[in-house]
Amino acid sequence: MKFKSIILLAAIVSTLAACSGNQKPVDMAAAATPGKSAYETGSITEKSLSSTARLPGQLKPYNEVNIFPKVNGFVKELYVDRGSIVKKGQLLMTLEAPEMEAQLQAANSRFIQAQENALASKEKYRRLKEAAKEPGSVSPLDLDNAQARMRADDAMAHSEESNVASVRTIQGYLSIRAPFDGMIVLRNVSPGALVSPGKGTDLPMLVLQDISKLRLEVFIPEDYVDKVDLNQPVKFNFNSMPGSVHTAKISRSANSLGSMRSEAIEIDVQNKDGQLKPGMYAEVGIPMLSGAKSLLVPNNAIVRSTEREYIVTVKNGKAALVDIKEGLARHDSTEVFGNLKAGDLIVNHPGDELKEGTNIH
C-alpha cells in the first residue's frame, strides 16, 4: 500500500510539471488591435420632429371667483354649502348690519325734510310771481331771491334723494348673489360669523367655480413654442380615465413665457355630464409643424451630472464638452438643443474621466 502511494504522488508531480512548462502568459496589450480608437464615436443626425409632443396638462375651472362681502356685517342666513349647484343671480347668503338700517332711516328723514323745503320754496316763488303781475307789488330783487332759493332747495332735495339711493345700494350688499352659474366648492363661514371686505390673503366666504366647461392648461417648453401647430386638433387622455381619448382645438395661448420659461396654452373642454373635475391631470398630444427639424443624438451619448448636461464632440481630434438641453426622447435617441449642428462627430458612452481637450484617436 505504501508503494502504491509513492507511485501516485510521482505521477501527480510529473503532470503538474508538464502543464507548467506548456502554459504561456497572455499579453493583453498585444491582443488590442493596433490603430483602433479607445472611444466609440458617432454623429449628430437631423430629422423631422415627431408629429406630436406628449406633454402634461391640468384641468382648471373655466370661471372661478372668491366671494367676499362688500361691507361689514354678520352672516344671517346661509343658503348653500359645498357642492351646491347655483344659477347666476341666485341668493347665496344674507348678512345683517343694524347700523346700516339706522343710516337708511336718517337719510330718509333728511330727504323728506329737503323735499318739504323744496315744495315750500317752489310755492313761495309761484305766489310771488303771480303777485308780480301787478306793477309795483313785488320788487324784482325779491322775486330773484325767491327763485334762487327754490332752485337751491330743489337741488338739496335731489342730493338727499341720491344719498338715500346710495344707502339702499350699500344695504343691498347684504344680500350675496352668484355672479355666474356654477358649483360652490368651498365654504368658510357659518351663520353668526363676523365678515368684512377681504384682502388677497384672507379666506373668502365662498368659492364658486364654473365647471360646465373647463380649461385644460398645458405649458409648452421654450424650445417648442415656435413649432406648435395651433390649427391642428389636440388629442388628450386623463390619467384617471384610461382608454378614453378626447379631441379638441387649442383655444388660446398666452403669447409670452412665464417664470418656468414656458408658454401656457389652453384647451376648452366641455363637461356637461360633470365627470371631469378641476385638478385632474391629462397627457396631451401637442401637434407639431411638419417642417420642423430636430437634432438627435444616441441616448448613450448624453452625460448627466448634478451640475450640467453635456455631450462630448470631437474637434480636430480632441474632445470638446458641449452643454445641451434635452427635448423629446425616443427609445434609442434624444432631441438636443445647444451649440451643435448636424453631422458633428460625437463620442458614445463617454465617461466622467473624459475631459476637455482629451485626444480622441
Give per-10-residue mean pLDDT for the chain (361 aa).
Answer: 45 47 43 55 76 85 91 90 92 88 83 87 84 78 85 88 84 89 92 81 88 91 80 86 85 82 89 87 83 77 83 85 78 80 84 78 67
* Domain range 98-172, CATH architecture: Orthogonal Bundle (1.10)
Distance CA 203, CA 104 (A): 30
Residue that is written with C-alpha cell 401647430 in the block: 229
Cα-based angle 308, 301, 220 (whole degrees, multiple of 5)? 60
Q: Which three cell numbers stand for residue 359?
A: 485626444
User: Over the stretch 211-259, which tens digit does the pLDDT of each residue have?
Assistant: 899 999 999 888 778 778 888 888 898 888 887 888 888 888 888 887 7
* Parts of the chain belonging to CATH 1.10.287: 98-172
What is the pTM for the complete model shown? 0.60
Right CATH for 69-94+175-206 from 2.30.30.90, 3.40.50.970, 3.40.1260.10, 2.40.50.100 = 2.40.50.100
Class of domain 40-48+292-348: mainly beta
Distance CA 267, CA 245 (A): 14
Q: Does domain 53-61+210-287 have CATH number 3.40.50.1110?
A: no
The single-letter code of the amino acid at 93 is: M
